[in-house]
Structure 1
Amino acid sequence: MPSNLPSPDAATPRREPQFVRVAETQREPLRFFLDGQEVTALHGDTLLTAVLMQQRRVRESEFSGAPRAGFCLIGACQDCWMRTEDGLRLRACSTLVAEGMRVVTRLATGVATVTNGDAQ
């Protein structure tokens, strides 16, 4: 059974997908940026789907550094929170990916961000 603890190369997420698309392949493609790298998704994809079509995690835990890939997939568990490059928090399972969206799998250390007027 694979460990959920960070590996020595945890800083570089593996670029093999967690999800494989088997249906709805005819929707129009769009581009977005994942950790600064341009990737593609399809219109109507949630951010969770779009990211997991690219790699095996949506973020790293801010507490342990362990990879997180969502849990409940319905917006109840708080496990799929991601951030945009400018620090806005998004729930990956219920946010539709948008053309040109820029998201990161981990926040730079020592950087305060503002969400709804509160520093975090």
Structure 2
Amino acid sequence: MQDANRGVVVDFHFEGRRYSARAGQSVAAALFAEGVRGLRESPREQQPRGMFCLMGSCQECLVMVDGRRVLACQTEVSEGLSVSRVAEVGLHD
């Protein structure tokens, strides 16, 4: 489907669930638009962490995309993209 002003709608998956987005939209923006706010948990306190700077500086939106660690704010959605949370390795209380 295409809207002349908004681009082609594509389907992608996050944590096994299907979502829709506009081609060219970042993974972070697409997930936020779909109501997903938490992309990972803090290593120390196990609290939800989401998008913060949305320009690639903070690393808060780190996810796995098709088996690679990438920033969701710097990665465009595409048809069939598979996105999942990164397994955190670090200090635990």
TM-score (ref. length: structure 2): 0.75
Q: Match for 1:74 among 45, 55, 62?
A: 55
Q: CA RMSD in A?
A: 2.4
Q: Distance in 2 between matches of 1:53 and 1:91?
A: 17
In the alignment, what sits opposite 1:37? Answer: 17
In the alignment, what sits opposite 1:100? Answer: 80
Amino acid at match of 2:58: C
Query: Secondary structure in 2 aligned to 1:32?
Result: strand
Query: Secondary structure in 2 aligned to 1:28?
Result: strand
Q: Which structure features the higher share of helix residues?
A: 2
Q: 1:20-63 CA deviation, whole Å, 9 max, x = no partner?
A: xxxx9732100000101111111111010011122122222344
Aligned length: 85
Larger RCO: 1 or 2 (CA < 8 Å, sep 6+): 2
Q: Which structure features the higher share of strand residues?
A: 2
Percent identical residues: 31
